[in-house]
């Protein structure tokens, strides 16, 4: 099998996963990040991420069947626990784009689930359902700690001989004269292939794709509750019919986390934060969380607000494809749901860069939808 040298731009979970996968294919790998691994504003950072099979789109439930074994192998290879299977509650109204679709995806992927009534939901998870809502409890779901995931991926990459360069900003990819040169703040690096996993900075290296992928900014709140919730049991959750509001109950001692996939579109991750936009998002999340947990303002205290940057497509699909006429692959784990799949998206990107593998049709640039899928 042909091998060579591949550069990975961006060392979030997707980029690190691509580093590992390319090294496992026998390639020499060097990864660059303009900041540090796990930088606060990166999409891969944060206190906790949800991992689940339950989707209103069965495509991603099937993709998780390939993904979970990869996480389990990484746990084995690094001796690290990465997934807390504390369970997850999906709730909302029924219908093709609501909880009925979640139930169908869980059944198709062979996952155990339970329907909870309002009283059972409050007791089991601490989350109160509104009139007419259905709760679908997914047992084989839970939370991932991003810091642990990034550390495990970096450990595995180092064990495979990958060179990881933090604080090494990439300014250009020069593909003139039949060679590929990655221009960095540490000097030029000559490679055979490039994987662009630069998150919201991707447009600097793949401007033609910028017409199809937007950069978004979202906010996540971290609160402390003075009252015990559900006996202290952890549970991730998602409101599948209210713009995908999501969170984690008891993600630590009295810690309640919430975010919303209701993004503000921006031009670049360096664009300044609008104070009014931030306040409106935080206030709405606090009001929602207090209602769902039946807590008043004295029982729930805001401790932290995280700013997250994601790339998005209209269909909320990932983009993992070769760039036409270039020795580069674009790896964009679009939307907030991408983290849980990064070990697979990195694998797919490495195969495109290092082998003759065909891309997944749904992740091709040419297949970007103009309307959101369910």
Splitting the chain (374 residues) into consecutive groups of 10 residues, what average pLDDT does each group show? 90 96 98 84 72 91 95 97 96 85 92 92 94 94 93 97 96 90 94 93 86 82 90 92 85 86 64 84 92 91 86 84 95 82 97 97 79 47
In angstroms and rounded to an integer, the radius of gyration of the C-alpha atoms of the chain is: 21
DSSP assignment, residue 164? Answer: E
User: For residue 259, what pLDDT is reported?
Assistant: 85
Of 276, 291, 312, which residue sits at a domain end? 312
Is residue 234 domain-shared with residue 175, that is, in the same domain? no
Within 10 angstroms of residue 370's Cβ, the number of other Cβ atoms is 8
Please name the helix (run of DSSP H) or strand (run of DSSP E) that holds residue 124, with its range, or none: helix 118-125
d(CA 17, CA 154): 9
> Is pTM, for the whole model, over 0.85?
yes
| Surface-to-core class of residue 1, CB atoms within 10 Å of its CB (0-12 exposed, 13-18 middle, 19+ buried) | exposed
- CA 114 → CA 53, 70, 89, 212, 275, distances in Å? 14, 26, 9, 39, 41
User: For residue 337, what pLDDT is reported?
Assistant: 83
Is residue 120 domain-shared with residue 179, that is, in the same domain? no
Is residue 234 domain-shared with residue 121, that is, in the same domain? yes
Is residue 232 domain-shared with residue 287, that is, in the same domain? yes
User: Does residue 107 lie within any of the structural domains?
Assistant: yes
Strands (E), 15-169: 28-32, 49-51, 83-84, 88-92, 113-116, 134-138, 142-144, 163-165
Spatial contact of 346 and 363, defined as CB atoms under 8 Å apart:
no
Is residue 95 domain-shared with residue 199, that is, in the same domain? no
* Domains of the chain: total: 2
User: For residue 370, what pLDDT is reported?
Assistant: 45
- Residue 28, domain CATH: 3.50.50.60
User: For residue 366, what pLDDT is reported?
Assistant: 85
Is residue 226 domain-shared with residue 115, that is, in the same domain? yes
Of the candidates 363, 353, 359, the one whose C-alpha atom is nearest the C-alpha of residue 22 is 353
User: Does residue 63 lie within any of the structural domains?
Assistant: no
Is residue 136 domain-shared with residue 222, that is, in the same domain? yes
Of 293, 312, 331, which residue sits at a domain end? 312
Is residue 139 domain-shared with residue 155, that is, in the same domain? no
Domain that holds residue 352: 5-44+147-209+315-367
- Residue 135, domain CATH: 3.30.9.10
Is residue 131 domain-shared with residue 231, that is, in the same domain? yes
d(CA 267, CA 200): 9
Tokens of 59: 């495509």
Is residue 114 domain-shared with residue 21, that is, in the same domain? no
């Amino acid at each position: 099998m042909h091998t060579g040298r591949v550069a990975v731009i961006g060392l979030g979970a997707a980029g690190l996963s691509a580093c590992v996968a390319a090294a496992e294919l026998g390639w020499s790998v060097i990864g660059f990040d303009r900041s540090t691994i796990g930088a606060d504003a990166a999409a891969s950072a944060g206190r906790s991420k949800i991992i689940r099979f339950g989707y209103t789109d069965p495509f991603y439930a099937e993709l998780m069947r390939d993904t979970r074994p990869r996480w389990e192998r990484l746990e084995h290879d690094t001796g690290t626990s990465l997934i807390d299977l504390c369970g997850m509650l999906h709730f909302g109204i029924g219908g093709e784009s609501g909880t009925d679709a979640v139930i169908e995806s869980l059944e198709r992927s062979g996952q155990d689930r339970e329907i909870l009534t309002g009283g059972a939901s409050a007791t089991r998870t601490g989350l109160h359902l509104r009139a007419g809502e259905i709760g679908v409890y997914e047992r084989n779901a839970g939370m991932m700690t991003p810091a642990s995931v990034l550390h495990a991926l970096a450990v595995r990459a180092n064990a495979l001989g990958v060179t990881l360069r933090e604080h090494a900003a990439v300014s250009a990819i020069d593909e003139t004269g039949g060679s590929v040169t990655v221009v960095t703040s540490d000097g030029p690096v000559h490679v055979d292939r490039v994987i662009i996993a630069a998150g919201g900075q991707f447009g600097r290296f793949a401007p033609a794709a910028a017409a199809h992928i937007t950069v978004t900014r979202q906010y996540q709140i971290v609160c402390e509750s003075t009252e015990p919730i559900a006996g202290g049991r952890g549970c991730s959750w998602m409101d599948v019919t209210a713009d995908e509001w999501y969170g984690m109950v008891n993600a630590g001692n009295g810690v309640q986390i919430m975010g919303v996939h209701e993004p503000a579109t921006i031009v670049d991750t360096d664009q300044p934060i609008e104070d009014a936009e931030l306040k409106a998002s935080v206030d709405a999340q606090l009001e929602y969380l207090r209602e769902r947990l039946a807590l008043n303002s004295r029982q729930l205290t805001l401790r932290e607000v995280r700013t997250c940057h994601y790339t998005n497509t209209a269909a909320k699909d990932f983009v993992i494809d070769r760039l036409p006429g270039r020795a580069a692959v674009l790896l964009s784990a679009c939307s907030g749901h991408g983290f849980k799949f990064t070990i697979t998206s990195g694998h797919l990107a490495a195969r495109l860069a290092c082998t003759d593998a065909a891309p997944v049709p749904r992740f091709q640039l040419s297949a970007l939808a103009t309307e959101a899928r369910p």
